[in-house]
């Protein structure tokens, strides 16, 4: 609810849109629906447009999105021509209710001391006859007279940001509600090589569907990002019981970085280990969520299949029957073959891009022991329903 106490209806409120990592759109849409009760209006590459009945601080706490904006205007019919600049100028000037957008922004981001600061941003991908700076100037021209006098332009950490994002034929202009901590998180002070982006880790945890009393493991934890995301989600969703989070890595530096990153997040059991020989009891883990090293992170691509096969053998030993696992890999065949050999079933696959590289995010279920029942309704609905693999 706004500070005025007025509850705005979905009709009165402008739409919002979230920027996400390419390939994670359906996961972000599901989180927006579950957490915010949002109505998804449009999904495009890297973009989810939605409506909510009320803009609350919950929009700032999504785990699978990079940024959230109030929509000023948008179009999916942008051409490469120079003429588009005139449209950007006109739409910015006439299509948005900027005073209302500012009011909603201020309800979530109270003014800082001193003169308010603002920053205009333009991102552009694809082939266009106009330059990025030309599009930025067109938006700035359309904003003439919209930004109150006395507000100061500022290049970094401005209180208010207005973005124009152009990707191929799609362009959206909006007022940024979030800041850099949504995509980078405050806990992630230290990194290791090819460290996982927190929003991707958040998507993996979302797909895993963690619940009260579960034991969740990342056997190749790197910087501990998946462990941190699991802890954060458990704080808000597992009110009926504690979630035990455990992780390890063969690299001593990774274990040091994990310890530093988890210091202010919450409790986790961490240990330096070899994922091919885990110091865990048989069938002691409910969820496995991990991002094994890609081919470029090893000495040679030929090392990947035997490494994954040895790890899968051990993961099958420690995962409980009916347990779920979420993997992010480039070499999908290398991990899929041993999983299928152990009878695991894929329930979802998504094509994503990580650090500019194509990868597969997949969800697997270990078969139940003969004569046992399936998961409880609580855990069965904790993740999105399966969809046909691409």
Question: CATH code at 234?
Answer: 3.40.50.150
Return the closest-CA partner of residue 143 out of 96, 106, 187: 96
> In this predicted structure, what is the pLDDT of residue 193?
56
Q: Do 273 and 148 share a domain, yes or no?
A: no
Q: Do 252 and 224 share a domain, yes or no?
A: yes
Average pLDDT, the chain: 87
Whether 279 has a pLDDT exceeding 50, the answer reads: yes
> In this predicted structure, what is the pLDDT of residue 2?
36
DSSP conformational letter for 264:
T
Return the closest-CA partner of residue 118 out of 155, 92, 82, 169: 155
Compute the average pLDDT of residues 125-135.
Answer: 95
Q: Do 351 and 244 share a domain, yes or no?
A: yes
> In this predicted structure, what is the pLDDT of residue 79?
93
Indicate the residue among 161, 183, 205 that finishes a domain.
Answer: 183
Q: What is the pTM of this model?
A: 0.87
> In this predicted structure, what is the pLDDT of residue 297?
54
Compute the average pLDDT of residues 128-138.
Answer: 97
Q: Do 130 and 212 share a domain, yes or no?
A: no
pLDDT confidence band for 8 (50 / 70 / 90): very low
Q: Do 323 and 368 share a domain, yes or no?
A: yes
- Give the residue, 196 or 270, on which the prediction is more confident: 270
The percentage of the chain sitting over the pLDDT mark of 90, rounded to a whole number, equals: 73
Cβ(57)–Cβ(2) under 8 Å?
no
pLDDT tens for each residue of 160-182: 999 999 999 999 999 999 988 88
Report yes or no on 190 lying in a domain.
Answer: yes
**Residue ranges making up the domain that contains 33:** 16-183
Whether 247 has a pLDDT exceeding 90, the answer reads: yes
pLDDT tens for each residue of 225-244: 999 999 999 887 655 458 99
Distance CA 101, CA 175 (A): 7
Distance CA 362, CA 327 (A): 5
Report yes or no on 76 lying in a domain.
Answer: yes
> In this predicted structure, what is the pLDDT of residue 390?
29
329 φ/ψ angles, rounded to the nearest 5 degrees: -140, 160
Tokens read off for 6: 């007025």
Return the closest-CA partner of residue 205 out of 19, 361, 49: 361
Cβ(329)–Cβ(335) under 8 Å?
yes
Whether 9 has a pLDDT exceeding 90, the answer reads: no
Q: Do 200 and 122 share a domain, yes or no?
A: no
Please count the structural domains in the chain. 2
> In this predicted structure, what is the pLDDT of residue 295?
56
> In this predicted structure, what is the pLDDT of residue 302?
82
Q: Do 70 and 195 share a domain, yes or no?
A: no
pLDDT confidence band for 191 (50 / 70 / 90): low
> In this predicted structure, what is the pLDDT of residue 219?
98
Indicate the residue among 183, 209, 225 that finishes a domain.
Answer: 183
With tokens 């700076």, the residue in question is 133
Instruction: Please return the burial class of 158, using the count of CB atoms within 10 Å of its CB with bins 0-12, 13-18 and 19+.
Output: buried
Q: Residue 64 maps to which CATH number?
A: 3.30.2130.30
Compute the average pLDDT of residues 88-116.
Answer: 93
Return the closest-CA partner of residue 363 out of 323, 320, 330: 323
Q: Do 330 and 302 share a domain, yes or no?
A: yes
């Amino acid at each position: 609810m706004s500070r005025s106490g007025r509850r705005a209806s979905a009709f009165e409120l402008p739409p919002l849109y979230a920027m996400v990592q390419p390939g994670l759109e359906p996961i972000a849409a599901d989180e927006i629906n579950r957490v915010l009760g949002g109505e998804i209006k449009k999904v495009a590459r890297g973009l989810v447009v939605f409506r909510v009945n009320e803009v609350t601080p919950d929009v700032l706490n999504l785990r699978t999105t990079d940024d959230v904006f109030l929509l000023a205007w948008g179009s999916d019919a942008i051409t490469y021509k120079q003429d588009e600049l005139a449209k950007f100028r006109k739409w910015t000037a006439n299509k948005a209710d900027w005073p209302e957008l500012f009011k909603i922004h201020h309800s979530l981001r109270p003014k800082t001391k001193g003169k308010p600061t603002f920053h205009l941003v333009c991102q552009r991908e694809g082939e266009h006859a106009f330059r990025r700076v030309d599009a930025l100037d067109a938006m700035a021209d359309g904003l003439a007279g919209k930004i109150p006098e006395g507000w100061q332009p500022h290049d970094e950490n401005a209180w208010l940001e207005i973005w124009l994002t152009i990707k191929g034929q799609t362009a959206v202009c909006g007022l940024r509600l979030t800041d850099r901590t949504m995509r980078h998180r405050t806990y992630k002070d230290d990194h290791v090589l090819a460290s996982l982006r927190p929003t991707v880790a958040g998507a993996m945890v979302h797909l895993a569907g963690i619940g009260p009393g579960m034991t969740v493991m990342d056997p190749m934890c790197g910087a501990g990002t998946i462990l941190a995301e699991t802890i954060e989600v458990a704080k808000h969703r597992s009110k009926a019981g504690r979630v035990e989070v455990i992780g390890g890595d063969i690299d001593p530096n990774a274990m040091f970085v994990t310890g530093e990153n988890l210091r202010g997040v919450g409790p986790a059991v961490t240990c330096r280990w070899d994922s091919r020989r885990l110091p865990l009891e048989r069938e002691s883990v409910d969820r496995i969520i991990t991002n094994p090293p890609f081919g470029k992170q090893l000495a040679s691509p030929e090392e990947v299949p035997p490494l994954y096969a040895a790890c899968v053998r051990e993961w099958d030993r420690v995962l409980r029957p009916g347990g779920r696992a979420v993997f992010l890999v480039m070499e999908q065949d290398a991990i899929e073959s041993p999983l299928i050999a152990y009878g695991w079933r894929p329930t979802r696959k998504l094509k994503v891009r990580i650090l500019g590289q194509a990868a597969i995010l997949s969800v697997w279920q270990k078969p139940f022991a003969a004569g046992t029942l399936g998961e409880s309704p609580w855990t069965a609905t904790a993740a999105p329903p399966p969809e046909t693999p691409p």
